[in-house]
Amino acid sequence: MEENTKIINIKGKKILFFSPSFFGYESKIKEKMKDMGAIVDYYDERSITSTIDKALLKISPQIFYRKSYRYYKNIINLNKEKDYNYIIIIKCDMTPKKILIELKRTFKNAKVCLYLWDSIKNVPNIKSKFKYFDILHSFDLEDCSNYDFLKFRPLFYIDQFKKELDVDEKYKYDISFLGTIHSDRYKVLKQVQNIADNNNLKCYWFKYLQSKFIYKFYKFTKKEFRKTKEEDFDFDKLSSEDISNIVEKTRIVLDIQHPKQTGLTMRTIEMIGMNKKIITTNSQIKQYDFYNPNNICVINRNDVNIDIEFLNKKYERIPQQIYNKYSLESWIYDILN
User: Tens digits of per-residue pLDDT, 69-79?
Assistant: 999 999 999 99
Residues in the chain: 337
Q: Which helix (H) or strand (E) holds 112?
A: strand 111-116
SS3 17: strand
User: What gap in Å lies between CA 22 and CA 216, rounded to an integer?
Assistant: 23
Considering only 42-46, 164-168, 310-314, which range has the smallest mean pLDDT? 164-168
Q: Please check the confidence at residue 279 and state whether its pLDDT lies above 90.
A: yes
What pLDDT shows up at residue 63?
75
Least reliable range by pLDDT among 5-14, 162-171, 271-280, 285-294: 162-171
With 50 as the cut, is the pLDDT of residue 263 above it? yes
Model confidence pLDDT, tens digit, residues 198-226? 999 999 999 999 899 999 999 999 999 99
Residue extents of the structural domains in the chain:
14-157+329-335, 166-316
According to the model, what pLDDT value does residue 89 have? 98
Q: Are 250 and 271 in contact (CB under 8 A)?
A: no
Superfamily of domain 14-157+329-335: Response regulator (3.40.50.2300)
Q: Which residue has the higher pLDDT, 262 or 80?
A: 80
Percentage with pLDDT > 70 across the chain: 92
pTM (2 decimals)?
0.86
The per-residue pLDDT for range 100-140, each reduced to its tens digit, is: 999 999 999 999 999 999 999 888 889 999 999 999 999 99
Per-residue pLDDT at 168 exceeds 70 = no
Range name among 52-56, 107-111, 221-225, 259-263 with the lowest pLDDT average:
52-56
Report pLDDT for 239. 86
Q: What is the pLDDT of residue 166?
A: 63
Average pLDDT for residues 264-273, to the nearest whole number? Answer: 92
- pLDDT one-digit tens code per residue, 10-49: 999 999 999 998 888 999 999 999 999 999 999 999 887 7
- Asked whether the CA dihedral 13, 36, 241, 191 is positive or negative, the reply is positive
Segment 83-94 mean pLDDT? 96
Residue 283 has pLDDT above 80, yes or no: yes
**Cβ(258)–Cβ(183) below 8 Å:** yes
170 neighbors 280 (Cβ within 8 angstroms): no
What does the pLDDT read at residue 1?
A: 39
How far, in Å, CA of 203 to CA of 220, rounded? 28
Q: Do domains 14-157+329-335 and 166-316 have the same CATH topology?
A: yes
pLDDT score, position 4: 47
Asked if pLDDT for residue 231 goes beyond 90, the answer is yes
Residues 267 and 178: beta-carbon distance below 8 Å: yes
Domain 166-316 classification at class level: alpha beta
Q: Measure the CA angle with vertex 212, ends 207 and 213; round to 5°.
A: 125
What is the band of 56 on the pLDDT scale with cuts at 50, 70, 90?
low
Dihedral over Cα of 167, 172, 174, 175: its sign: negative
The residues near 172 (Cβ < 8 Å, ≥ 6 apart) are 202, 204, 249, 250
Q: Is the pLDDT of residue 57 over 80?
A: no
